Amino acid sequence: MLKKYSFLVILFLLLTACTPETKPVVIATIFPEDFENSIYMNEYNQDVEIRSILSSIDEVDQHWHNLDDVINNYIKENKDVDIVYGFPNYYLQGIVDEGNIKQLNGLLDESILNNIAPAVMTPIKKAGNDNIYGLTPMFQNNVLVYNKDIFEELNMEQPQDSLKWEELLTIANKINNTSEYKGLTLGYATTNSDYFYMIQGLADPIDRIENIGGKAVVNNEVNRKFWKIFADIYKENEKVTTEEFIKGEVAMSIFPIGQLIDTEILKYYSSDVDISKWGIVETPVFEENKGGSAYTDTMFILSSYSKNDNAVKFLEYIHGKEFAVSLVNSEMFPSYWDNEIKSIFMEKYDVDLSAAYMQPGALSSIPPFEGERVREIEAVGAKIFDRYLSGDGNLNDLLIEYEESIN
């Protein structure tokens, strides 16, 4: 009897040793409620525990300028956390430099990493000194959309990928001067102030305001160039909006890719809109910024203290093809990109988004101040830019006034 009992004990121990323990994946996030109600939780059927990095959502505003420090400290103080989620990629470099997260190339399935679009992967690798320390399963981007019929009618060469803004302005001016059409619109802004806020994202990641010893310093050289180009686009095209582009009255428009697949918005402005007559190329660039304007605030990183294999499996799943298909079907834009994902977009929305995916993204800088301070600076900038558009003052003098007004 004793021998039988001993055998059973040994068998139990062997079976226990051979049965992998199912450990929950512990994910700390900036916005826990958003994560719990997200597509991640709907699609992933394994055990996940969600924690909050901040005690209140209101704290996010206070940490625009140092969220990387907040995340670093949290990881060091909470070594049982596997994954941190929910921040823009421009905080990644500061987290990488502290050494608290794992390198993902060599850890995650290479077939997944090799299919992350350049729009997403390029800034991630830049933040990681050519290595991968974070990933995001989805992103947003802008593209330049043009009306094929207008260019054919005017016998003009169609726009190409990654035009310089100066080149795009030249094309728009030629259309303005030789036809009844307007050349270019950048969006739906209907006031000068709205236009100022809209162009901030198009000028990223170039630093226009810096924090030097607590003082907000305006980069006059950079702003002088950007303000003039964007003001010229706005004024010389008579402040037309994307609404006029959709109606066929404007040759080119900057489009967020989300609006390209939103048929309700498109048909709201024109019931007979036919996007098959539109061409799509990469967004224009500045000499100072060769990358596009891809954006994400859904970064995932893996703590260097994590010993949980399920955390790696979780990251592989939400960045792989199966989850990418779910995102497309939910009208989102997965970072994973191959011919199958491209075909699904074509079949569902009749749009080729290659330009949005293949244009290498750029790494923006961390905001120079807390959220409230940044908004104050931008509000002053909007008022002074409004004056510039109205012809009230010399550009150089207005930029000097801008810096004086924000300090």
Tell me the pLDDT of the chain averaged across its residues.
Answer: 90
Q: pLDDT: is 203 or 347 the higher one?
A: 347
- Residue type (1 letter), 80: D
Q: Answer whether CATH 3.90.650.10 is correct for domain 142-292+370-405.
A: no
Query: What single DSSP character describes residue 121?
Result: H
Q: For 151-204, how does the pLDDT look when each residue is reduced to its tens digit (9 = 90+)? A: 999 999 999 998 999 999 999 999 999 999 999 999 999 899 999 999 988 877
Q: pLDDT: is 22 or 145 the higher one?
A: 145
Query: What is the C-alpha separation between 248 and 221, in angstroms, rounded?
Result: 36
| Mean pLDDT for the stretch of residues 237-242 | 92
56, 32 contact by CB (below 8 A): no
In Å, how far are 57, 75, 215, 364 from 61, measured between CA atoms? 8, 20, 19, 18
Q: What percent of the chain has pLDDT over 70?
A: 92
Residue 10: pLDDT band (50, 70, 90) is very low
In Å, how far are 78, 141, 211, 287, 354 from 357, measured between CA atoms? 36, 8, 33, 21, 5
How many residues in total does the chain contain? Answer: 407
Q: For 124-159, how does the pLDDT look when each residue is reduced to its tens digit (9 = 90+)? A: 999 999 999 999 999 999 999 999 999 999 999 999
What is the pLDDT, as a whole number, of residue 43? 65
What is the pLDDT, as a whole number, of residue 3? 42
What is the pLDDT, as a whole number, of residue 168? 95
C-alpha triplet 33, 34, 39: angle, nearest 5°: 125
pTM (whole model) above 0.85: yes
Q: Answer whether CATH 3.40.190.10 is correct for domain 24-140+294-358.
A: yes
Choice among 46-55, 107-116, 249-258 with the minimum mean pLDDT: 46-55
What is the pLDDT, as a whole number, of residue 200? 87
- CATH 3.40.190.10 maps onto the chain at 24-140+294-358, 142-292+370-405
The number of C-alpha atoms within 13 Å of 226 and in the hemisphere containing its C-beta is 29
Q: For 201-236, how does the pLDDT look when each residue is reduced to its tens digit (9 = 90+)? A: 887 766 788 999 999 998 888 889 889 999 999 999
Distance of CA 288 to the CA centre of its chain: 19
Tell me the two tokens of residue 308: 């949980």
Which secondary structure element, helix H or strand E, spans residue 29, and what is its range? Answer: strand 25-29
